[in-house]
Amino acid sequence: MNISDIVKTLDGTLVAGGTSDRKVGAVVANDLMSDVLLDDSDDILLLTSLASDQAIRTANIVGAMAVVVHNAKPLPQTMCQVADTLGIPLISSPLTKYESCVRVHDFLAANG
Amino acid sequence: MTSLPQTVKILSGGESRSDDQIIAAHGRSSAGAGAALPGAEDSPLVIMELLQRLRVKDVMKSQNIISVVRTDSMKFAQNLMKRNHISGVPVVEGSRLFGIVSVNDIIKALEGDWIQDAVQQHMATNLVVLEEDMPLAFALKFFQNYTFGRFPVLNKERNLVGIVSQRDVTRAMLKELTREISKLEGRSPPAQDAPARSEGALPFYAMRQFAVVHNDLQSAGKAANEIKKMLKDAGVDPKIVRRVAVAAYELEINVCIHSLGGTVTFILDTERATVIAKDRGPGIKDVEWACQDGTSTANDWIRSMGFGAGMGLSNSKRVSDSFDIQSKVPSGTTVMCEFNLAKKEG
């Protein structure tokens, strides 16, 4: 599952950070950044409701491949700037976090 | 101690201000809510930290203040300044500040032939004063903005408690910088003839210090991201890079949300990476409790920003090869995490 698959599956929009060829290695759905930092997986897709710079900075620390913010939350300009600076693809989705989890799970189950 | 007379106006930053306005300005600075310290914008971080940590009361002269009383003559003030090589004297009775006589006032008195008059007739009463609890950065800014060689210092009760001159500031800064350098000497780079490095050791030494401002969550995390970049650029094993970055990030966030502010220092030498987070208080009452998973004193605002889950210290400890925490109420907490760069990651 790459950036383009994520955008399509989650009815999302890539708003900052550019795109990449990286594929999802693990999925973390969380709003508590300390919990995210606990995860040792590589190429994390971070599904969160946290629309702040810290979601992107945390993603960068753990080497996440992309961040999805849910419920079409307005994204602060600084968040997009940090995503551009650090090169972390930032996707906005109108779905709830739960719905995103279901769709990502189904996609990975069907496509690997 | 007595209070400042009503007739003395207090000016700050070129504007006329009431006593209350001065207190408000000081309150904002001490809270440090994201505002850059005046005078410190272009300074190296170690100096910025010193300017923030040191207060005016730490550097001012508080004993044997040379002063005159209102009924002394301008001539007496002139002689006093000449004898003591100073450019101004406060007019003080008890600890009540009435005004200041400067060299300019003396020159005017000589030109106008009123050198025998009492100082109360010609002293300056529109005074620029500092408060004893202001960060030193404010004193520096005042010296930049005004031509005065010294400023009276008042306490919260508006009593005169000292005088601060440019020389006092320079002396205190040199003393503190010497102390900081002495601390770092124990971690200085290896000499040319140092013993051969172990296999896998990296041929460099680097140190960076980052200031962390209380409650400035907008900026928190910048230090950790910089540290990660430094390690990555140095070619350190990506798994170690991630562990160091996680510890640096957690400690930086902790200083930001739980302390009055402080620094994150990163030291990279040939065999290890070290992250030191040091804050200025209030300290942790029960360190053992604070290091357990899920224990937190964070408020709802911090939690709404994605932090305060009570995992910061335990996460830092989990990823470090060596973890040490020292805390004292109310002076502050220092946490040190070390990472062995030669360690093979599984």
The model's pLDDT over A48-85, given as tens digits with 9 standing for 90+, comes to 999 999 999 999 999 999 999 999 999 999 999 999 99
* Interface TM-score (ipTM) > 0.90: no
Chain A contacts of B225, Cβ < 8 Å?
A: 57, 60-61, 86
May I ask the CATH class of domain A3-111? alpha beta
The pLDDT assigned to B246 comes to: 95
Give the chain A residue nearest B227 (alpha carbons). A61
Within a 10 A sphere around the Cβ of B4, how many other Cβ atoms?
A: 21
Chain A contacts of B310, Cβ < 8 Å?
A: 34
pTM: 0.57
pLDDT at A107 over 70: yes
The residues of chain B that CATH labels 3.30.565.10 are 199-340
Q: Which fold has domain B9-172?
A: CBS-domain (3.10.580)
3 state SS of B298: coil
Instruction: List, for chain B, all residue ranges whose pLDDT scores fall below the cut of 50.
Output: 1-42, 189-201
Among B201, B203, B222, which residue's Cα sits nearest to residue B211? B222
Q: What is the DSSP letter of A20?
A: -
Domain boundaries, chain A: 3-111
The residues of chain B that CATH labels 3.10.580.10 are 9-172
For residue B203, cis peptide bond before it (omega within 30 degrees of 0): no
pLDDT at A94 over 80: yes
Residue found by looking up tokens 């290091």 in the block? B291
May I ask the CATH class of domain B199-340? alpha beta
Chain B contacts of A37, Cβ < 8 Å?
A: 246, 249-250, 311, 315
Report CA torsion sign: A5, A6, A8, A9: positive
Q: Write the pLDDT tens digit of every residue in B143-168.
A: 877 777 788 898 888 888 888 888 88
Give CA–CA dist B320/B240, Å, rounded. 9
